[in-house]
Amino acid sequence: MNRLSLTLISEIMGWNDLDIATREFDWLRLMAATKYDGYSDFRAGSRFVENLAIWLKQFDRADRRTAYDFVKNRLVYISASEMQRLIEAFVPETITPYLRRLAAKEIGIAPHEVWGNSAGAEAFKKLLRRSLLVGLSDGARIDILRRSNAGRLSQEQIVPMMNIDNKKWEDLAKELSSDQGPDAKFDHVYLIDDFTASGTTFIREVKGEWKGKLKKFNDLVIDARNAAKAAGTRFPIAEDYTVHIHHYISTTQARANLASRVKAANQAWPDKDYSTIDISEGVRLPPTLRMRANTDRPMLDLCDKYYDHDLYIRLKKHCDEAGQSDMKRGYAKCALPLVLEHNTPNNSIPLLWAETEGKSGHRMRPLFRRRDRHG
């Protein structure tokens, strides 16, 4: 770690007491080495401590203590190794128990008896092969999912992105038939993503029109099924398949929103192609994660004070769909103190990730710069 950067932070923070400076330097070195230096947007020579110095400097001296304490005591950072553990646990801890229960019911035995029963083990194997896994974004990290399940899952039942063309559907059908027989189809489809904070990206209703990833996938399957029928080819997904929505990380708010919106969509969509929906996550973040006025007032005040409304203007279309008129608390006003190793969610407070020129307020400088697909 650059000694000059530590000295600069000491000057910015006014750590004149040697004991305080030494204690904080030790903490900064530890956290930089074990977590924060691994953030994907950092580069050699400009990692956590260097960015922290720049970030702290944008605040008035009287506000720097609040900002620093927030980073030290409130920030939640999901590292690459932590995310990898969640990906590796997905099949054994989410898919396996679910399918084992179905296999046990099919054979008429208890779930814990499946592995010791040849018919139960065979039923589970069939159910697993007839499950299709679809990545919804780069965050699904299908590369890690494939490697961690080599020998357990076929490469022909994992699709890295939702944009599946007709040729790929034909290949999936051919490989599944080769393994499971001419009438075999996927009974379970897992839609996988890394994180959800509000649930709105996955499913939402805007001016009477349903949008989101679930609607896109439903429409994709309907179109592909019709195209296969017109071409006289086999389509690999069953008529009454189950959709499984899985996020490696979810907030409590998102889980509740997903459940209610899925229920509403099931009643509203006349053309839904699936039969049922199951929702799961690798880890559900507690409701206390969200920043609130009674516990986080000093930092939330900084979110108001050091805000550039140009951020909202830049993301206006995206924000309007969520029914918000500013971005002081992030998208959908989630006010999260959260950073993921590959990117910072726009549901986190913008003081963490936003970069603006100060056209309509305070010029914002990020600590963990976000790569934003919305503009």
pLDDT, one tens digit per residue, over 215-226 is: 999 999 999 999
Contact by Cβ (8 Å): 193, 137: yes
Q: Rounded to whole angstroms, how far apart are CA atoms 35 and 350?
A: 21
Contact by Cβ (8 Å): 273, 221: yes
- Give 374's pLDDT tier (boundaries 50, 70, 90): very low
Q: Which residues contact 348 (CB under 8 A, 6 or more apart)?
A: 330, 334, 336, 337, 338, 339
Q: Rounded to whole angstroms, how far apart are CA atoms 273 and 259?
A: 18
Q: What percent of the chain clears pLDDT 70, i.e. is strictly above it? A: 99
Q: Which residues contact 31 (CB under 8 A, 6 or more apart)?
A: 48
Compute CA distances 135 → 85, 108, 146, 227, 354, whole Å: 17, 33, 11, 22, 27
Q: Which residues contact 94 (CB under 8 A, 6 or more apart)?
A: 246, 280, 282
Q: Which residue has the tokens 């004991």?
A: 19
Which of 7-11, 60-64, 280-284, 302-306 shows the lowest mean pLDDT across its residues?
Answer: 7-11
Termini Cα distance of the chain: 33
pLDDT, one tens digit per residue, over 188-238 is: 999 999 999 998 889 888 888 888 999 999 999 999 999 999 999 999 999
* Residue-averaged pLDDT of the chain: 94
**Confidence (pLDDT) at 127:** 98
Q: Rounded to whole angstroms, how far apart are CA atoms 98 and 89?
A: 14
Contact by Cβ (8 Å): 278, 98: yes
Q: Rounded to whole angstroms, how far apart are CA atoms 13 and 375?
A: 33
Q: Which residue has the tokens 């063309």?
A: 165
Phi, psi of 73 (to 5 degrees): -115, -15
Query: CA dihedral in degrees (233, 237, 240, 242; nearest 10)?
Result: -170
- Structure tokens that stand for 81 in this block: 């190794």
Does the global pTM surpass 0.75? yes
Q: Rounded to whole angstroms, how far apart are CA atoms 223 and 139?
A: 26
Higher pLDDT, 95 or 319: 95
